[in-house]
Amino acid sequence: MKIKEKPNFNNPQVYQTKQLVEILKKFPFESMENLINYISPTRENKISERTFHRIKATLRDDYGIVIKYSRANQGFYLDEEKSINIESFLSHMEILATGEQISHNLNGNNNSLSFIEFENKSAIEVIPNFKSVLDAIQQNLPITFVHSSFYYYKEIKEQEYTLKPYYLKQYQNRWYVVGETQKGYRTFGLDRIKSVETGIEKFKSKINEAKEKFSNVVGLNSMDHELQTIKLSFHISQKLYVESLPLHSSQKEINLDNDKSFDISLNIHPNFEFSQQILKYGSLVKVLEPKWLADEIKEELRRGFENY
């Protein structure tokens, strides 16, 4: 296992916890010696075994990531069954690590921000209601709030809801709370709710059931169709982009012997958001299956063409 050059973070533990999880995802059953070499700041400045175990304890106690030792394989591994969502943890640590890098560069360099441009204002704004909703989630307490809908273009429509909040999810630079109302599972954008009040009667969380329900959709829209296999064919120029930013976690490459296009399959509930993801590629993608979806995309493209 090759040791990479380490960035100079202000808080090395942010880097070390992230790197330990990443390396165990790629190379399970690594020895303690190899893991220490990998997450140490330099070859000459290695962390101690005591520090290694302290990092493991931090991952377990603060983040719910369980690392165990396998005597049979003589190495450490991630116990994914007893850990929280590891991908969410890595995304969280990536944000912290990026913040550490920016903070480090700002020290003694007043013009650092002139070289950094955020995608939009919301990327650096304080997330409204984040703490109050997260506190309610962690305590299994319901919340009541007023929601402003984006679906009514002539006027803003407000409605009060009571929700059992299960978890927070980020999608396209917005944060959403996923939970359950009396009518079933719902998602609400944190930037579209106000007057949040926390109830006092605890509920039993259904976080796993909620995540399972939304695991087979793109985005957070409701399921418009049954779970099915979708096959898409991209222009070969899009291969690296689609590989690096998959449309869904179920994405798999198919037709491997075809060097003129990049073909994939996905197992999802097709919905409006998924159709929007297809349409943004324009002529660079074609729906192979199912036929009804190909016809739907074709009709949408025709309507768009008629606008011109």
How far is it, in rounded angstroms, from Cα 50 to Cα 151? 55
Structural domain that includes position 88: 1-117
Residues 16 and 79 in one domain: yes
Residues 62 and 94 in one domain: yes
- Using DSSP's 3-state secondary structure scheme, residue 77 falls into strand
Residues 192 and 254 in one domain: no
How far is it, in rounded angstroms, from Cα 99 to Cα 9? 9
Give pLDDT, residue 109.
63
Bond from prior residue into 28 cis (ω within 30 degrees of 0): no
Tell me if 223 is assigned to some domain.
no
% the chain with pLDDT above 90: 51
59 is written with which tokens? 């991952």
Which are the contacts of 43, defined by CB distance < 8 A and separation ≥ 6?
3, 37
Tell me if 236 is assigned to some domain.
yes
| Residue 10 to residues 4, 14, 41, 55, 102, Cα–Cα distance (Å) | 18, 9, 12, 17, 10
Tell me if 218 is assigned to some domain.
no
Structural domains in the chain (count)? 3
Residues 109 and 13 in one domain: yes
What is the number of other CB atoms lying within 10 angstroms of the CB of residue 8? 12
Residues 8 and 109 in one domain: yes
Global pTM reads 0.68
Give pLDDT, residue 166.
95
Q: What is the DSSP string of 188-239?
A: EEGGGEEEEEE-SS-----HHHHHHHHTTSSTT----S--EEEEEEEEGGGH
The list of the chain residues with pLDDT below 70 reads: 1-14, 97, 99-100, 102-126, 150-156, 222-224
Helices (DSSP H) in 107-180: which residue ranges?
A: 130-138
| Residue 140 to residues 133, 161, 190, Cα–Cα distance (Å) | 10, 17, 18
Instruction: Taking each helix axis as running N to C, give the angle between helix 49-63 and helix 32-39, from 0 to 180 degrees, rounded to the nearest 10.
Output: 80
Give pLDDT, residue 299.
96
| Residue 104 to residues 53, 109, 126, 182, Cα–Cα distance (Å) | 27, 9, 21, 48
How far is it, in rounded angstroms, from Cα 24 to Cα 70? 13
Give pLDDT, residue 267.
95
How far is it, in rounded angstroms, from Cα 31 to Cα 282? 48
- The CATH number assigned to the domain holding 72 equals 1.10.10
- The CATH number assigned to the domain holding 144 equals 2.30.30
